[in-house]
């Protein structure tokens, strides 16, 4: 049973189909038929993404993954404000934390805000961290290990009332929550978490202050990121986004249903020997579960013939979860915790 959908998803058959039918010409080529065909296909895909997300087409920058989107946005904005102060949280994905840590080595001033014990980055905690010099904050929408949703509306109100630019890593939110992209100046997304292909991410950028490009070169993507556009990946990403919107209600119901089935299975088979670590303000498809008396790595290894799940983020699989530590969970609970992440297309079967 594949229950590691927060790590990645398998591609949707319709995604594979559109990827197989896109032209091979370089998007920037001109005059011949194959080039015109590709131009139309990619332009339609870009329009479809912008329409679904309700952002302007020129705000979209394709990257290679959300890690790149986060690097591009954070480095590309922070370095425009020498001497300023920046805020993030201690439970961001490593690609955000390590980017800020790198920027600190260059002399930038960063505050890392801790979540409360329920795993929420509260507006009050962010407000405490704000200084008159704060220019940019990066706070994730949904945590990839706990499934906890942060209150983006309140955070946006607070940060914008103080003229602080707001970035969110919405990788685990897209497809699962209705996202109002106008709350943010910058957003990072990834295709492979929503049944799209691996190897493509999106950075949604503000029209006012653009990040300095991470990849300089030719003039693709309005000079925001050089490199020949990956036709297949863009088509696949656009289709994955479209499907996540078309099927939004059905997918939500599927996730809720899958969660109920899982909880009922755990109740029947484990009784009091398990605990869901976070139950308030969580998305339905990510569950942080303590299996009492079982060391997580041994448990997953022993049960790998029936269960594919993880001990936490697949990017930091070898060390105990820093996210759960920051949420003040006991060391023993952390050692006994697995992350189960459910599909929104496939039904869970026991
Ligand atoms: N941000 C979050 C919250 C994630 O869960 C992940 C993936 O694990 C990433 C960023 C990185 O995404 P990508 O694999 O596209 O670089």
Mutate to test the pocket of ligand 1, among 193, 198, 341 (most ligand atoms within 8 A of CB): 193
* 288: confidence class by pLDDT, cuts 50, 70, 90: very high
Cβ partners under 8 Å of residue 76, min gap 6: 210, 211, 212, 213, 214
* 254: confidence class by pLDDT, cuts 50, 70, 90: very high
Closest-CA residue, ligand 1 atom 5, reads: 144
Centre of ligand 1 from the C-alpha of residue 35, in Å: 33
Residue 316 scores a pLDDT above 70:
no
- The ligand 1 atom at the shortest distance from the C-alpha of residue 92 is 3
Q: What predicted TM-score, i.e. pTM, was given to this entire model?
A: 0.97
Rounded Cα distance between 131 and 116, Å, is 21
The per-residue pLDDT for 349 is 86
Centre of ligand 1 from the C-alpha of residue 31, in Å: 39
Centre of ligand 1 from the C-alpha of residue 141, in Å: 12
Pocket of ligand 1 (CB under 6 A): 65-67, 93, 95, 140, 144, 169, 171-172, 190, 201, 313, 315
The per-residue pLDDT for 261 is 95
Centre of ligand 1 from the C-alpha of residue 234, in Å: 18
- The ligand 1 atom at the shortest distance from the C-alpha of residue 143 is 3
The residue-averaged pLDDT of 44-65 equals 98
Residue 313 scores a pLDDT above 70:
no
Q: How many CA atoms lie within 13 A of 259 on its CB side?
A: 20
The per-residue pLDDT for 314 is 58
- By annotation, the residues acting in catalysis are 315
Nearest to 142 by CA among 173, 175, 121, 168: 173
* 317: confidence class by pLDDT, cuts 50, 70, 90: low
* 350: confidence class by pLDDT, cuts 50, 70, 90: confident
The residue-averaged pLDDT of 287-302 equals 96
Closest-CA residue, ligand 1 atom 8, reads: 7
């Amino acid at each position: 049973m594949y229950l590691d959908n927060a790590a990645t998803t398998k591609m949707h058959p319709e995604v594979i189909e559109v990827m197989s039918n896109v032209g091979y010409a370089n998007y920037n080529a001109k005059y011949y038929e194959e080039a015109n065909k590709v131009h139309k296909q990619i332009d339609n895909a870009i329009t479809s993404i912008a329409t679904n997300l309700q952002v302007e087409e020129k705000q979209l920058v394709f990257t290679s993954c959300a890690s790149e989107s986060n690097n591009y946005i954070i480095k590309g904005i922070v370095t425009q404000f020498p001497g300023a102060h920046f805020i993030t949280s201690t439970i961001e994905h490593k690609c955000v934390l390590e980017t800020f840590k790198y920027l600190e080595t260059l002399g930038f001033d960063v505050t890392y805000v801790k979540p409360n014990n329920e795993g929420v980055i509260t507006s009050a905690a962010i407000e405490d961290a704000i200084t008159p010099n704060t220019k940019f904050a990066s706070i994730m929408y949904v945590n990839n290990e706990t499934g906890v949703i942060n209150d983006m509306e309140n955070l946006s109100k607070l940060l914008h009332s103080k003229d602080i630019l707001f970035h969110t890593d919405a990788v685990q939110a897209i497809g699962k929550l209705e996202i109002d992209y106008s709350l943010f100046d910058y957003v990072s997304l990834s295709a492979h978490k929503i049944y799209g292909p691996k190897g493509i991410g999106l950075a949604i950028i503000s029209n006012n202050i653009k990040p300095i490009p991470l990849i300089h070169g030719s003039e693709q993507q309005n000079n925001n990121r050089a490199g020949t556009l990956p036709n297949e990946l863009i088509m696949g990403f656009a289709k994955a986004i479209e499907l996540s919107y078309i099927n939004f209600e059905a997918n939500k119901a599927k996730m809720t249903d899958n969660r109920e089935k899982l909880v009922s299975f755990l109740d029947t088979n484990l009784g009091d020997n398990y605990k869901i670590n976070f139950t308030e303000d969580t998305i339905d498809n990510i569950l942080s579960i303590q299996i009492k008396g079982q060391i997580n790595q041994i448990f997953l290894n022993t049960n790998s013939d029936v269960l594919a799940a993880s001990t936490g983020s697949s990017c930091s699989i070898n060390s105990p979860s820093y996210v759960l530590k920051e949420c003040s969970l006991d060391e023993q609970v952390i050692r006994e915790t697995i992350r189960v992440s459910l599909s929104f297309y496939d039904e869970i079967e026991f």
